[in-house]
Structure 1
Amino acid sequence: MARPSPHTRQLLSIDGLTDEDLHSIVARGAHFASGAGADERPLAGWVAGVYFKKTSTRTRTAFSAGALRLGARTVTYGPGDLQVNTGETVEDTGRVMARMLDVLVARTAGPDEELRGLSGGGRLPVVNAMSAAEHPTQGLTDLTTLQLRFGRIEGLSVLYVGEGNNTASALALALSRYPGTRLELRTPPGYGVDPAILARATAQAARNGSYVAEAHHMEGLPEDADAIYTTRWQTTGTSKPDPDWRQVFAPFQVTAGLWRANPKAAFLHDLPAHRGEEVTAEVLDGPASIAFDQAENKMHSAMAVLEWIRHGALTGPTPEGRPA
């Protein structure tokens, strides 16, 4: 069976997307969320692999359901299902999968090199469903959610409070690609965004007339933010070496008090949430919260990603007779 060339599209990082790709995926995610693409089957005839080494509710369900809705069939793998557990190299596993699958959605929560190995030398399209460094599909979901909520992304102001984890990294890399946006990251000391990723995001922001900054305190918070965002304090697949880390994180809890200066802000959370830790129940279950809309949008965004993997950038309705 002939497989794609080594120039096959991959989604390993937000940085791997052109501006056209990024904007197209977000627009198509919003298109699918509107229900306009309910009858489209751009993945007909494809087989999608879904491989999760770490726990997942939203991302695994989103890509599985999204692939099925777009006409693909799925093969799923859990953490103990592949022969990498018996000593086969990731590269050999990828070479085999590249001969049988059309796309692989993979959550490793490990280094990006593992994802590259699974691509079979670049011949199998791989979607990073979360690695240690970055959660790019979450970043695309977040932009889709902002687009649906505000009708635009340009010029929006976002306050992110909490650990500078892979979700925060993807958000910084994605939001900074839009003109006039502002992202304030407030992260606990010692738990900030990876400096290399923050440097890339701030450089992109400078090119686009946007703003990205990080501080490790909760003083002088921005006012009139359009969105306030947090994530769980214990990122999937990680643990914290400091036994007293909760004391360091405590000042960064999202409470209703943040809305005194930001009364119109929407609340985002990538879920799962721990009420009483990173966010109070009053906020998560309150009128400002769009966290569960955001969770649903993960499926719409996943559909856009999978369509992009096969067909490239699309911003409008699906054209008839598009090549497979």
Structure 2
Amino acid sequence: MSARHLISLDDLTDAELYALVERGAAFAAGRTEAGGPQARPLDGRITGVYFRATSTRTRTAFSVGALRLGGQIISYGAGDLQLNTGETSEDTGRVFSRMLDVLVARTAGETAELRGWAAQHRMSVVNAMSAQEHPTQGLTDLTTFLGRFGRIEGLRVLYVGEGNNTAAALALGLTRYRGTTLELRTPPGYGLDPDVRRRALAHARAAGSALTEHHHMADLPGDFDAVYTTRWQTTGTSKPDADWRERFVPFQVTDALWKTSPRAVFLHDLPAHRGEEVTAEVLDGPHSIAFQQAENKAHSAMAVLEWCAASLPVPAHGDREFRAA
């Protein structure tokens, strides 16, 4: 078998996407029926956790997930690898693939580097956030919707804020569920990447869902099931213009949005800056499920790691079996 990789949600078939989300929701509900309560699909396997950029939730989620599934982890920080002394990314990936079973990596850079590491068949590579997309966040969000509503089909979601890598994953995932609506309100100059929008619209046409984007907060429809935002300063990035905050101020999430969507829940991928992208009244209020969403990162991570493990050869007893490429 060939190792499975998750670099973009678009790498998944619809069936794989739905199965990963359902499995994450099953873990969240305490169900492990696929392998029984003592299932340890990562037993005898080693997961490398490499984060070049800061992380609280995703790094913890995949570390906890690997350990709960019976695996062992090796954790690398931004200054730990010989990449810092001039070793090429390609050579680093080749070495990883001869020692690790799974590599979970946050580069905060171009997705192409991760695809380079995935150009082999013995080690699974998971994108824990690149500049273009945050696919494991997208799975977490869908898992949260499923757990909260018991369905994803037909949900109406309002996303407010920058069209960043979290917004990209949400767009590429939610539009693949029939009858959903994703309304994006993004500041001028900070919208969804055109290629992501094109791909998401193609998913929407195929699934009978809807995606719209506007760069203002006027004429906002109501009756949303969920309101979602992210912090204004995305991890590992900086804004090109000095007055960017002026463009973002009208896109702050306040409790005024609940006047036309009184039953909506609030999501945030965290970390949050109260008083900037969202008020404290919303984040800490009765509609917020942001911290349940954060907990679901661990459940989604377990689903991804289990899915990766199913594609790998059975580990040798004792020392890890090293095979020729």
Question: Structure 1-normalised TM-score?
Answer: 0.93
Partner secondary structure for residue 136 of structure 2: helix
Please name the residue that 2:28 is paired with: 33
Counterpart of 2:298? 299
Q: Are the counterparts in 1 of residues 101 and 122 from structure 2 also a CA contact under 8 Å?
A: no
Whether contact under 8 Å (2:232, 2:277) holds in the other structure is yes
**Aligned pairs for 1:31-110 within 5 A:** 31-37=26-32, 39-110=38-109
* Maintained 8 Å contact 1:176/1:212: yes
The alignment status of 1:14 with 2:9, answered yes or no, reads yes
Q: Is 1:287 equivalent to 2:282 in the alignment?
A: no
> Residues of 1 paired with 2:114 and 2:208: CA distance?
33
2:159 maps to 160
CA contact (8 A) 1:179 1:210 kept: yes
Instruction: Identify the residue that residue 318 of structure 1 maps to in structure 2.
Output: none
Other structure's SS at 1:303 match? helix
After superposition, residues 308-319 of structure 1 pair within 5 angstroms as 308-311=307-310
Is 1:95–1:119's contact at 8 Å kept on the other side of the alignment? Answer: no
1:218 match? 217
Map 1:107-126 to 2 at 5 A. Answer: 107-119=106-118, 121-126=120-125
Decide which moves more: 20-29 or 303-312: 303-312
- Residues 1-55 of structure 1 show CA distances to partners (whole Å, capped at 9, x for unaligned) of xxxx6x3210000000001110010001011101123532111111000000000
1:311, CA displacement in angstroms? 1.6
1-structure distance, mates of 2:38, 2:232: 39
Identity %: 69
Flag structure 2 segments of 5+ consecutive residues without an equivalent: 316-325
Distance in structure 2 (CA, Å) of the matches to 1:116 and 1:18: 18
What letter is aligned with 1:74?
I
CA change 1:323–1:95 in 2 (3 A) is closer
CA 1:302–1:77 in structure 2 vs 1: closer, same or farther (change >3 Å)?
A: same
Q: Is the 8 A contact 1:189 1:248 kept in 2?
A: yes
Q: Which residue of 1 aligns with 2:129?
A: 130
Residue 121 of structure 1 and its aligned partner are, at CA, apart by 3.3
Match of 1:246, SS state, is helix
Number of residue-to-residue matches in the alignment = 310
Does the residue aligned with 2:198 lie in a helix, a strand or coil? helix
After the TM superposition, list the runs of 4 or more consecutive aligned residues in structure 1 that deviate by more than 6 angstroms: none
- Alignment partner, residue 315 of structure 1: none
- What's the secondary structure of 2:183's corresponding residue? strand
Are the counterparts in 2 of residues 157 and 181 from structure 1 also a CA contact under 8 Å? yes
Distance in 2 between residues matched to 1:171 and 1:241, nearest whole Å: 24
CA deviation vs aligned residue, 1:118-158 (integer Å, no higher than 9, x gap)? 33635421000000000000000000000000000000000
CA RMSD of aligned residues (A): 1.3
> Separation in 2 of the partners of 1:11 and 1:208?
22
Q: Which moved more, 1:47-56 or 1:27-36?
A: 27-36
Runs (5+) with no aligned partner, structure 1: 313-321
Contact 1:254 1:280 in 2 (8 A): yes
How far the C-alpha of 1:323 sits from its partner, in A, is 7.1
